[in-house]
Structure 1
Amino acid sequence: MITKQFSPSLMTMDLDKFKEQITFLNNHVDSYHIDIMDGHYVPNITLSPWFIEQVKKISDVPISTHLMVTNPTQWVDQLIEIGSEYICIHAEVMNGIAYRLINKVHDAGLKFGVVLNPETKIDVITPYIDLVDKITIMTVDPGFAGEKFIDSTLDKIRHLRDLRYTNNFNYLIEMDGSSNKDTFYKIQKANPDIYILGRSGLFGLDENIEKAWNTMLQDFNDTKQHI
């Protein structure tokens, strides 16, 4: 049985309190979610491999890098060198290079994740689903914090659980987008393994990261009691 995991999205943290927030979260979270956007695949630019290096200076928590980029090949080598424990790439940009990228990441001793946009069907990744370590379901349109939650994406989480059980696959199932007090109930019913927490679910709850974390955990557990 997989224990539920929390992965804060550092794109939404208070960078003025970088060290304070990371130092606290190091003792509470299962991984950090770091978005790299190139301004082409999505109309936004965020974070960078340099940012991952800064996190690793003060943290041993695994890093999951989410590449929202048009050309993932140009980023993978640098992320391997830095040692991002998970390198996650959108299925929509992997046609023709999926096996090459998966093998490169695995050969480096790291884990490979694939990300599906709300409109993308699971069938797209069927050829290599048995090779991936994590599948991230976008529950919002990618590119910006604060996007509206898309309820229909939860069906993919349920389907991925069924596929994993039926075929004895080993991937983790992650949800990304608008995970908070208002959506915890329906997300928990779909039952992903990893919850990515952003501004509405964590960092925006209080200026004090400990109070924000405790509020999130209370909201999550209160909701869980009603499942």
Structure 2
Amino acid sequence: MKPEFSVSLMCMDFLDIKHQIEILDQNMDGYHIDIMDGHYCKNITLSPDFMKACARMAKKPMDVHLMTTNPNDWIDACAAAGAAMISPHAETINTDCFRTLNRIRDAGCQVGVTLNPATPLSYCKHYLNRIDVLTLMTVDVGFAGQPFITEILDKIAEAKRLREENGWHYKIMIDGSCNKKTFKRLYEAGADVFILGSSGLFSLDVDLQTACDKMKAQFEEETGVKP
């Protein structure tokens, strides 16, 4: 499977949104939209209104990461704003997960689910056959720039093994500290989609096109795979 790259827009320069999206459209596979409610994690980031503005110019799909205590409050608004895929946290949907996953599908979006670093894969094992994307956090939720949690590599490998043994089809997406220092380990463990933020993209150069070129060169250098 060819590696894919989704850009975390919470890390972009908000004074230069239009120009940056024009560049990212030419270099990346999608946009990662972090929605935090200030309750599930102590931060507030993007919103469905922000998504609507981006959808007017972005040519690549938006995937939504719901870091919210009540994800069902956000599904319809995010779908209406242009989400291609919506991922609530497994930890927030345990009491009504099948209704929630069905609601995302009925809204016309691909279905994802996200696991915090300390949450075992077994927590969502009984519905892995129903999802399109499994997002594994390699940092704790809430803030960009956190250090990589190496213990997650075993979880990535386990997710890949379960997918192969059962014939499931979900992609394995990695959220947190995807950069030159981790590309090789993540790719070899089984990652399919890499979410790029500050360390993996935006801090590489003040010129975003140059930063994109550097990221691609770093990924190929570390993994031997051309993006």
Q: 1:60: how far off? A: 2.3
Q: TM-score, normalised by structure 2?
A: 0.96
Structure 2 Cα separation of the partners of residues 100 and 144 of structure 1 = 29
2:33 maps to which residue?
Answer: 34
Letter in 1 for 2:168: F
Residues matched between the structures, number: 225
Q: Aligned AA for 2:148?
A: F
Aligned-residue CA RMSD (Å): 1.1
How far has the Cα of 1:185 moved from its partner? 2.1
Contact 2:52 2:82 in 1 (8 A): no
In 1, are the aligned partners of 2:114 and 2:135 still within 8 Å (CA)? yes
Quote the Cα distance in structure 1 between the aligned partners of 2:28 and 2:5: 6
Give the aligned partner of residue 119 of structure 2.
120
Trace 1:127-142 onto structure 2 (pairs within 5 A): 127-142=126-141
TM-score normalised per structure 1: 0.96
Alignment partners' CA distance in 2, 1:186 and 1:108: 35
Q: What residue identity is the alignment partner of 1:41?
A: Y
Alignment of 1:205-220 (within 5 A): 205-220=204-219
Deviation of 1:20 (Å): 0.8
Q: Deviations over 1:117-152 (max 9, x none)?
A: 000001110121111110000001111001110001
- Aligned AA (2:195): I
Q: How does 1:182-201 map to 2 (within 5 A)?
A: 182-201=181-200
- The Cα of 1:225 is off from its aligned counterpart by 2.8
Residue 160, structure 1, aligned to residue 159, structure 2? yes
Give the counterpart letter for 1:8 in structure 2: V
Please list every run of at least 4 consecutive aligned residues from structure 1 whose deviation after the TM superposition is greater than 3 angstroms: none
Task: State the distance in 1 between where 2:80 and 2:52 align.
Answer: 10
Give the Cα–Cα distance (whole angstroms) in 1 for the partners of residues 72 and 142 of structure 2: 19
Partner secondary structure for residue 94 of structure 2: coil
Determine helix, strand or coil for the equivalent of 1:86. Answer: strand
Q: Which amino acid aligns with 2:88?
A: I
5+ residue gaps, structure 1? none
Q: Please give the residue correspondences for 1:63-78 in structure 2 after superposition, counting only pairs within 5 Å.
A: 63-78=62-77
Once the two structures are aligned, what percentage of the paired residues are identical? 44
Q: For residues 150 and 122 of structure 2, what CA distance do their matches in structure 1 show? A: 19
Q: Give secondary structure in 2 for the equivalent of 1:114.
A: strand
* Structure 2: distance between partners of 1:225 and 1:153: 22
Instruction: Point out the more displaced range, 179-188 or 48-57.
Output: 179-188
Q: For residue 143 of structure 1, what is the amino acid of its counterpart?
A: G
What CA distance in whole angstroms lies between the structure 1 residues aligned with 2:20 and 2:93? 34
Residues of 1 paired with 2:224 and 2:2: CA distance?
16
Q: Structure 1 residue 100: deviation in Å?
A: 0.8
Is the Cα contact below 8 Å between 1:135 and 1:173 reproduced in 2?
A: yes
SS at match of 2:156: helix
Q: Residues of 2 paired with 1:21 and 1:139: CA distance?
A: 26
CA deviation after TM superposition for structure 1 residue 108, in Å: 2.4
Match status 1:60 vs 2:55: no
Q: Distance in 1 between matches of 2:9 and 2:52?
A: 13
Q: In the alignment, is the contact (CA less than 8 A) between 2:76 and 2:107 conserved in 1? A: no
Mapped contact 1:83–1:110 kept (Cα < 8 A)? no
